[in-house]
Structure 1
Amino acid sequence: MKKDTFTIGFMLFALFFGAGNLIYPPILGINAGTAYWAAMSGFIITGVGLPILAVTAISFVKNDTRELADRVHPLFGLIFTSIVYLAIAPFFGIPRAATVAYEMSIEPFLAGNSSLALFIFTAIFFILVFLCSINPSKMVDQIGQYLTPILLVAIISLSIGSFITLDTPLVSPNGKYINAPFFTGFMEGYLTMDAIAALAFGIIVVNAFKERGITTRKDLVKSTLKAGAIAGISLIIVYGSLGWIGSKMATYGSFTNGGEILSRAANIIFGNFGTLLLGSIVILACFTTSIGLVVASGEFFSKTTKLPYNWVILTVTIVSFFIANQGLNTIISYSVPVLVFIYPIAIVLILLTFLDKLFGGAKAVYRGVVLLTAAFSLYDGLTAFGFELQAMTKFMEYLPFFPLGLGWVVPAFVGGLIGLFVSKWKS
């Protein structure tokens, strides 16, 4: 069973470790500078801790993420879960993975940005993703036993080379990292999409253990925690290494994104071989994550719509292909506001799962917390889209943690207290 736990744990790591996990830690490192450790600590909480909690939360339910959201209301469960799967799969997550893979593995060898090259690359990429997603039961072995070890060896090689070669001193932090490095890192962890992706990946992990004969709730939770620990430790090591590379690259010039930082670092460390090494890391990371997202969304929408699984994953890959060809910057510009809106809701649902027994699973508590969280996170999402809500902003500025991007925290707590009072009053 230990071998199965490691295999599933490594599969979970590979599913998590995709485009966002590659491009955001180096940006954090280069901007945080001497405040690197504080910033990375915040990043790890939302980039590692929350996803592992989310996967574990799924092991408490019988079916999937919708069962968690249904505790608020069945209609909310359907709508919210559908939004989550659409966001992490065909609309943002999978297209972002494909475009990052292209920009960091193919584009460096081209004279300029070629829309035709992107079209050809993404066509091949999504054909392979579709073929590997047809049989979900084989995915655990394909990723856990074969692809993940290759991915880890490549990352470790780049990391060791960086520790030996990059010996420049850390510079002073800039931007939000000057005054609030921990909370800025905390917010950056949102952008990985991992906490909401974990709501989808969780059922893959649970089903993998069920197929291996583990069926009781206690054993499923225990096994999921072990696999989650393996994935979490791996992610912390990788994030720490990639972020440290970024922190050492500040004196090498200015960069517009994490991909540029890693590409330059790989070239400094290993020359042209470094570019090839980084390209292999990126393609493997984005490929494994895309497979997991296609499988997870395919299983959910197939069960929800009663359509054949193969037809659903074909639709997901085709939509992802067309959106990927809009370019990385376009995808990111539309994804950030959506993530800012749905992330807090996902966080409170995850936390409420573990606190369920404290308030007897009262629906009023779930509804109070989610309603107020959604109301205030909607404001954050709309402002991220560019809407000017001056009247609302004056009110929001009075909220604790608002300057840190966590204005929804106190309303969520108040909503829980109101829900608890209502549930006690009704009983």
Structure 2
Amino acid sequence: MSDTVASPAKSKSASPLITILIASLMLFSMFFGAGNLIFPPMVGVSSGTNFWPAIIGFLIAGVLLPVAAIVSIAISGYSVRDLAGRGGLFFGIAFSVMAYLSIGAFYALPRTGAVSMETAITPLLGWEGTAANGIFNVIFFGIALALSWKPNNVIDILGRFLTPALVILLIALITLAVTNYERIPGTPTEAYESSPLVTGLFEGYNTMDAIAGLAFGIVIISSLRAKGFGRGGTLIRSTIITGIIAGTLLAAIYLGLGYMAQTVPDGQSYESGAILLADSAKLTMGTPGQTVFSLIVVLACLTTAVGLITSTSEFFNS
């Protein structure tokens, strides 16, 4: 990998405002992985008429906590180790290593490849089995590694290209589903009937973005510094604004996915948000819709994999 932190260099092609906007799209794409795509629809169909308290709970854990994590990193120093180090040297190192391994090599990173194969490639192309999985994961993580090779270019790769494509596809899917089907909330399931806010809160935490926010802070700060934001108050304010914009976009997409799920006929019969979304895409757009959904899943997982590889490698390199 290249150097962890680039020396600050003024961006010659974009104003500070445009740079912050692109960084916000990059952060959104790193947060928005497979779990972020499939959890909100299940909250929508399972909560039924208790949709609003459930989705508010989801947004608290899935948006507010990750944004708070980014803000904490910006204020406390440079990385999660700076923040955790206030609890002592051993705790700072141990907590940081556990956080990066849990969202990286031990769980979240392999999941991006597995979910891409299971929910995008196999339903569309019919490929399955050990050999197909192995070949796909070599290609998938090879592309992710290539995109992650120069950390200072991540803000341009994700913010300028991959994220806009992902957001456009998501908006197209949500809009078509909402305009083609009537929203009919069902009866809440047992968990959402008794405590919809708390159940939604747990589902939002399952996205793992509260921990990922601590890890992704290093990428945002490095990228903004490389674009000429230097250190001090300007960098802190820019990082906080980036987190807020990314969080706002996350909240809008989560609301759209949860609302859209309640337009799918017999939505509560689905056990997986991935299958529900795939069927919704196929119902609204036919086979091309299924292709669109596959592209959404692969892009969501790929952008998250790039963010995880970059942030984890920068941490362990330091």
Q: TM-score, normalised by structure 1?
A: 0.69
Aligned counterparts of 1:288 and 1:111: Cα–Cα separation in 2: 24
8 Å contact kept, 1:30–1:250: no
Deviation for aligned residue 1:245: 2.1
Please tell me whether residue 175 in structure 1 is matched to residue 179 in structure 2. Answer: no
Structure 2 alignment gaps of length 5 or more: 1-15
Aligned counterparts of 2:137 and 2:71: Cα–Cα separation in 1: 33
Deviation for aligned residue 1:212: 2.4
Aligned counterparts of 1:252 and 1:210: Cα–Cα separation in 2: 46
Deviation for aligned residue 1:27: 1.0
Assess, with a 3 A threshold, how the Cα gap between structure 1 residues 178 and 274 changes in structure 2: closer, same or farther.
same
Larger CA deviation: 166-175 vs 152-161: 166-175
- Counterpart for residue 99 of structure 2: 84
Deviation for aligned residue 1:61: 3.0
Larger CA deviation: 137-146 vs 245-254: 245-254
8 Å contact kept, 1:36–1:247: no
**Per the alignment, in what secondary structure is the counterpart of residue 12 of structure 1?**
helix
Alignment of 1:18-417 (within 5 A): 18-111=33-126, 113-249=128-264, 251-252=266-267, 254-303=269-318
Which amino acid in the other structure matches residue 221 of structure 2? V
Deviation for aligned residue 1:115: 2.6
Aligned counterparts of 2:30 and 2:93: Cα–Cα separation in 1: 24
Aligned counterparts of 2:183 and 2:252: Cα–Cα separation in 1: 21
Aligned counterparts of 1:77 and 1:102: Cα–Cα separation in 2: 36
Assess, with a 3 A threshold, how the Cα gap between structure 1 residues 174 and 112 changes in structure 2: closer, same or farther.
farther
1:235-272 Cα distance to aligned partner (Å, 9 max, x none): 01111111112223361562221111111111111111
**Per the alignment, in what secondary structure is the counterpart of residue 75 of structure 2?**
coil
Aligned counterparts of 1:283 and 1:119: Cα–Cα separation in 2: 16
Identity %: 36
Number of residue pairs the alignment of both structures matches: 303
Higher-Rg member (1/2):
1
Aligned counterparts of 1:27 and 1:170: Cα–Cα separation in 2: 12
Aligned counterparts of 1:116 and 1:165: Cα–Cα separation in 2: 39
Assess, with a 3 A threshold, how the Cα gap between structure 1 residues 168 and 208 changes in structure 2: closer, same or farther.
closer
- Counterpart for residue 321 of structure 1: none
Aligned counterparts of 2:231 and 2:146: Cα–Cα separation in 1: 33
Which amino acid in the other structure matches residue 40 of structure 1? I
Aligned counterparts of 1:41 and 1:146: Cα–Cα separation in 2: 30
Deviation for aligned residue 1:73: 1.3
- Counterpart for residue 29 of structure 2: 14
Which amino acid in the other structure matches residue 271 of structure 2? T
Which amino acid in the other structure matches residue 270 of structure 2? F
Deviation for aligned residue 1:140: 0.6
Aligned counterparts of 2:221 and 2:78: Cα–Cα separation in 1: 9
Aligned counterparts of 1:114 and 1:224: Cα–Cα separation in 2: 43
Q: TM-score, normalised by structure 2?
A: 0.92
Assess, with a 3 A threshold, how the Cα gap between structure 1 residues 82 and 237 changes in structure 2: closer, same or farther.
same
Aligned counterparts of 2:301 and 2:126: Cα–Cα separation in 1: 23
8 Å contact kept, 2:64–2:247: yes
Aligned counterparts of 1:44 and 1:265: Cα–Cα separation in 2: 23
Deviation for aligned residue 1:113: 4.1
Aligned counterparts of 2:181 and 2:114: Cα–Cα separation in 1: 28
Aligned counterparts of 2:267 and 2:307: Cα–Cα separation in 1: 36
Which amino acid in the other structure matches residue 236 of structure 1? A
Aligned counterparts of 1:112 and 1:10: Cα–Cα separation in 2: 32
Q: CA RMSD in A?
A: 1.4
Structure 1 alignment gaps of length 5 or more: 304-427
**Per the alignment, in what secondary structure is the counterpart of residue 101 of structure 2?**
helix
8 Å contact kept, 1:60–1:217: no
Aligned counterparts of 1:62 and 1:240: Cα–Cα separation in 2: 32
1:8-32 Cα distance to aligned partner (Å, 9 max, x none): 0110001100111011111111100
8 Å contact kept, 1:132–1:139: yes
